[in-house]
Amino acid sequence: MIERRKTRQVKIGGILIGGNATIPVQSMTTTKTHDVTATLKEVERLEEAGCQIIRITVPDQKAADALYEIKKRMTVPLVADIHFNYRMALEAVDAGADKIRINPGNIGSLDRVKEVLTKVKSAGLPIRIGVNAGSLEKDLIEKYGYPTAQAMVESAEKHINLCKEFDFEDIIVSLKASNAQLMIEAYRLFSYKFDYPLHLGVTEAGPKASGSIKSSVGIGTLLAEGIGDTIRVSLTDDPVEEVHVGFEILKSLGLASKGVTIVACPTCGRLEVDLFKIAGEMEARLKNIKTPMSIALMGCAVNGPGEATHTDLGIAFGKGSGHLYYKGENLGKVTESNAMDKLEELIDRFEKEQASGG
């Protein structure tokens, strides 16, 4: 069991972040925000995938105007992503955003900082201070020579202190880098100095395959050490994939129980069925199932029966057929051609039993 570091707690809409709260998975829309129809379509897909917090960029007035309608039709908390235009932060609060992602030191004069923090505080919203190794302040690059964990933490501390000047401490912090080792070091260093809740992520992680691995190493290492209160996997891919990878990271560490966990053998010369095809098809079919369950897809009789017995559902294949298991009970043989359909019938049965408390 992972012992999580104790952090202070903040609230984003109806979701608690930090303390002993569960770790929510976040993502971000890729559409132009002013295109309300396209943005809401992506929001709906993210919500269906289980995304618990969605960030939407607000770069200009057209985006800010669209945010009002978008927020009305969302079912999960909305985070408004603001960079340099403080007026957009004010607009986002009025539009009903649940959190503002902004670095106070980047929006100009102290009067502007005060105006934004006062309005955010009066609305009872938190902010996220987002430090990125690729956009550190010039004075910190000059001081350290290049992006370092110390420079990233110093940047975060500067923004935190600016917030504290105006009695604002409802803060979440991220310290992202495209280098997983640098990101890990920065979060570790910060967590030793502060108790603000942490939003974990490896930024610009890359395409799905390599980016998922890099994110799993960076985010997973920190979570295993008890560091981190919410996560976002950043992929050059459909943002829905970010959500799926995020939950897989959490499930692998016992920090989430959403959806299906597939146990499948790595295959070897004993294989008598096309397990690559079967596992791929099953993973695709089950992506949006939210009921926690474990499924074993095993290719031979050596480890297959044992694994299938110890998961909720499973198939232990032999030559062209396999034994179907449900809650540890062997239900008999199925052919390779109808195995997936039979397994889906059992999945439907399992979901209904779980919903009824069975």
pLDDT of residue 272 exceeding 70: no
Q: Are 130 and 101 in contact (CB under 8 A)?
A: yes
Sequence-separated (6 or more) residues with CB below 8 Å from residue 228? 23, 187, 198, 200, 219, 222
DSSP sequence for 212-277: HHHHHHHHHHHHHTT--SEEE---SS-HHHHHHHHHHHHHHTTS---SEEEEE----TT--S-HHH
Architecture category of domain 260-355 in CATH: 2-Layer Sandwich (3.30)
pLDDT computed for residue 358 by the predictor? 64
Q: Are 232 and 27 in contact (CB under 8 A)?
A: yes
Confidence band, pLDDT 50/70/90 cuts, at residue 120: very high
Highest mean predicted confidence (pLDDT) among 2-6, 171-175, 315-319 = 171-175
* Higher per-residue pLDDT: 91 or 340: 91
pLDDT computed for residue 303 by the predictor? 66
Average pLDDT over residues 267-291: 73
Phi-psi domain of 48 (left: phi exceeds 0; alpha: psi -120 through 50; beta: other): alpha
pLDDT computed for residue 301 by the predictor? 63
Q: Are 190 and 198 in contact (CB under 8 A)?
A: yes
Looking at residue 296, its amino acid is: A
pLDDT of residue 23 exceeding 90: yes
Mean pLDDT of the chain: 90
Cα–Cα distance, 244 to 260 (Å, whole number): 11
- In 43-170, DSSP assigns E strands to 53-57, 78-81, 99-101, 127-132
**Whats the size of the chain, residue-wise?**
358
DSSP state of 291: S
Sequence-separated (6 or more) residues with CB below 8 Å from residue 137? 105, 155, 158
Q: Are 19 and 4 in contact (CB under 8 A)?
A: no
pLDDT computed for residue 267 by the predictor? 63
Average pLDDT over residues 226-247: 95
Cα–Cα distance, 151 to 138 (Å, whole number): 11
Burial 294-327 (b: 16+ CB within 10 A, else e): bbbbbbbbeebbebbbebbbbbbbbeebbbbbbe
Highest mean predicted confidence (pLDDT) among 89-103, 294-308, 341-355 = 89-103
* Higher per-residue pLDDT: 257 or 199: 199
pLDDT of residue 269 exceeding 70: no
pLDDT of residue 251 exceeding 80: yes
Is the sign of the CA dihedral 341, 347, 349, 355 positive or negative? negative
DSSP state of 198: B
Please state which CATH class domain 10-252 belongs to.
alpha beta
Cα–Cα distance, 230 to 46 (Å, whole number): 16
Q: Are 51 and 259 in contact (CB under 8 A)?
A: no
Looking at residue 14, its amino acid is: G
Residue 292's Cβ-side half-sphere holds a number of Cα atoms within 13 Å equal to 10
pLDDT computed for residue 305 by the predictor? 76
Express each pLDDT in 58-87 by its tens digit.
999 999 999 999 999 999 999 999 988 999
pLDDT computed for residue 309 by the predictor? 84
203-207, 260-264, 284-288: segment of lowest average pLDDT: 284-288
DSSP state of 288: T
Domain boundaries, the chain: 10-252, 260-355
Q: Are 136 and 93 in contact (CB under 8 A)?
A: no
pLDDT of residue 302 exceeding 70: no
Cα–Cα distance, 292 to 302 (Å, whole number): 27
Express each pLDDT in 163-214 by its tens digit.
999 999 999 999 999 999 999 999 999 999 999 999 999 998 888 999 999 9
pTM summary value = 0.86
% residues pLDDT > 90 (the chain): 64
Cα–Cα distance, 89 to 93 (Å, whole number): 6
